[in-house]
Structure 1
Amino acid sequence: MLEIDFTEPRWLINWYHFIGGLSMILNSFGIYLLIYHTHKLGSFRYYLLAFLVSCTLADIQTTYFCQFIPLYPMIAGYTVGVLSRYLGLQAHPSLALTLTFTVIQIESLLLCFEKKHQSIAEVTKTHIVPKPIRYIVYFVWLITPFNVFFWFSTLAMSEEEKFDYIMSAAPQYLPNFMALPNFNIYLKTTSFILFFSVVLSSGIVLNILMITSAIDIFYLMAKLKSKISPVTYQKHREAVISIMVQFGSSTICFVPPLLMVVIVIAHVDQAQILIEVVTAWFVSHSVVNMISLLIFFPPYRSSVSTIFKRRKQIVTTFGFTCHYFCVMRKSCMVDCEEEGGNEKHGALIN
């Protein structure tokens, strides 16, 4: 018998709000640093900017607009975000948008890898990918988010099918489902299994591709060092560090869905709280990414250090100015008191 806990997980909703707000602050700060403090990266910073913007949009959709609440052990859930609470959008299209934004985010990171790999390859004349192939890849990347959105949209059940399934599989929970603002249930149909098999296999292939590209980038960087000036080499090196840091932190994107699949396939008992924890883990990847960049990405680290030094100088200057005016004010008051005392003394003598 299915055992589903319909208690609203307030901690998860609060986590959505907290991590969403923190993500917007950190990503906005990262975008500001990219625009105004990383000119040495050249045009590559615009690809990093596209990635940060895609992270921001994905986080807004996930943590504010969607706010998915899973209902394990069913492959089901509902949403309590802005789209459902105020606009009446059902859970399935909201999840489709979340998945689409996640795909765009991954593609933005792939574009960063591809651009930096090929910019170094063109200098070293090694492992240059022909332009026709690159254009085909760009076209595939362009249509993939739309394909994902429309394919996932076909997996939705109609209202009648959902309630028929509840009556046959878990009739005791019918009142609970009817009390939800919205919900969707997914069955392990051929189309469902095929869709997520393609998604997971694509994720694994892309991870392997990025790891291979990273190894090749380090190989090309070793050849590049003797062919360009130290300043240009440092620019390439900092760009490579940025995408490596983002790749390392973005693996968080792939691990939670994989864990969810393992939990569902293995039919782990009493795992609803585990599913919620994995969901909270998934939505935290952008914050981890920005914190990692602020710590390990040299242009960000130096920019933050410069900003804090300037603020310290401003605070010190302001404090010195206030202290100076206070001293001057006291000095003036003392002079006035002395002049007043002299006038009174002269009047008494007269």
Structure 2
Amino acid sequence: MSGYCVGFLAKYFDVWSHYLIALLVGMIVAQLESLAYCFVRKHQIIANITKRHLIPKNVNDAITMISPFFPIFGYMAFCNAGMKRENQMGYVRKHHPEYIEQFSSLQNFTIYEGNFWFFLIISLSFFGGIFCGCIYTFTTIDMFQMLRKSRRKISATNFRRHRSTVKSLLAQFAASSLLLIPSFCFSVVIMTGIEQSQGIVHVILAIFSLRSSVNAVVLIATTPPFRKFVMRKTSSNNLVIATVAISMSRNSWS
């Protein structure tokens, strides 16, 4: 497997693509971990109302303390999975001489072999994704059950607020499928080595790149304070445009 980056850091500062890809891996881990933490945090807020399925404070504190180390570990592990930069062209000449001309035209690329660290990252990503998915599923089902049982214990306003937050988290989880599913498909393609894999990877990366935009739209659409803020700004901008248009029209008639 090989890849290259064409962004600002790679082009103007010559930051090696391997480090940029490793940084992306660490950020993916951080995003999934943060989303799982939000689900657990909201679950515990509702659990405090019903007094069931509470996580002991010492366990919660321990998880909170070790959580920042997972993205760091993902970054460091992926850094060890790459080939040294000075050995890459020698590897191409020895194993894939037909691609020497194409690789020579790239100033910033990285090559990966199937070493221990590479397969460790693939395995941890697979099982970590399943684990996070279980957290999302369990906490969501339990939160809706607890909300139904606590409906008489809290005000209608608080009930709607809690339910809205849960729905927003569910929407964020659905949007994160653009992060999980392409990553899973990418791992399958790499591990199986199927034909036409490069074209498949291009499609996967195109879908993967949509995640930030989709997440932002979903967050605004499903979170009432953000949605009201955007609608208020849009309404005020439309009012300004309409006022300017009316003023220009009057001036033209004058």
Partner of 2:214: 288
- After TM superposition, the structure 1 stretch with the greater mean CA deviation from structure 2, 190-199 or 120-129, is 190-199
- Aligned counterparts of 1:229 and 1:302: Cα–Cα separation in 2: 22
Residues 122 and 187 of structure 2 are in contact (CA less than 8 Å); yes or no, is this contact kept in structure 1? no
| 1:76-95 correspondence to structure 2 within 5 Å | 76-95=2-21
Match in the other structure for 1:125: 51
Among residues 184, 193, 199, which one is paired with 1:273 in the alignment? Answer: 199
Aligned partners of 1:220 and 1:81: how far apart in 2? Answer: 47
Please provide the CA RMSD for this pair: 2.2
Q: Which residue of 2 aligns with 1:199?
A: 125
1:102-144 alpha-carbon deviations (Å, 9 max, x no partner): 2222222122112211111111111110111111111221111
- Matching of residues 218-297 of structure 1 within 5 Å: 218-297=144-223
Q: Within the alignment, does 1:208 sit opposite 2:208 as a pair?
A: no
Match of 1:141 in 2: 67
- Whole-Å separation in 1 of the counterparts to 2:14 and 2:238: 49
Q: Say whether the 8 Å CA contact 1:245–1:297 is kept in structure 2.
A: no
Q: Kindly state the Cα deviation for residue 85 of structure 1 after the two structures are TM-superposed.
A: 0.8
Q: Give the total of aligned pairs.
A: 254
SS of equivalent residue, structure 2 residue 81? coil
- 1:35-89: CA deviations, max 9, x gaps? xxxxxxxxxxxxxxxxxxxxxxxxxxxxxxxxxxxxxxxx111111111111111
Q: Contact 1:246 / 1:293 at 8 angstroms: preserved in 2?
A: yes
Cα deviation digits, residues 222-261 of structure 1 (max 9, x gap):
1222111112222212221221111111111111111112
Partner of 2:84 in structure 1?
158
TM-score, length of structure 1 as denominator length: 0.67
**Residue 177 in 1 paired to residue 116 in 2?**
no
Unaligned runs of 5+ in 1: 1-74, 331-350
Q: Secondary structure at the match of 1:154?
A: helix
Q: Would the alpha carbon gap of residues 222 and 187 (structure 1) be closer, same or farther in structure 2, given more than 3 Å must change? A: same
TM-score normalised by the chain length of structure 2: 0.90
Match of 1:103 in 2: 29
| Unaligned residue ranges in structure 2 (runs of 5+) | none
Displacement of 1:266 in angstroms is: 2.7
Distance 2:172 2:239 in 1: 32
Instruction: Using the TM superposition, give the Cα deviation of residue 297 of structure 1 relative to its aligned residue in structure 2, in angstroms.
Output: 3.7
Residue 309 of structure 1 aligns with an amino acid whose one-letter code is: S
Q: Partners in 1 of 2:107 and 2:141 — Cα distance?
A: 48
Q: Percent of counterpart pairs with the same letter?
A: 29
User: CA distance change for structure 1 residues 203 and 319 in 2, over 3 Å: closer, same or farther?
Assistant: same
**In structure 2, what is the equivalent of residue 306 of structure 1?**
232
Structure 1 residues 160, 234: CA separation in 2 closer, same or farther (over 3 Å shift)? same
Letter in 1 for 2:207: W
Residues 238 and 299 of structure 1 are in contact (CA less than 8 Å); yes or no, is this contact kept in structure 2? no
Matched position secondary structure for 2:215: helix
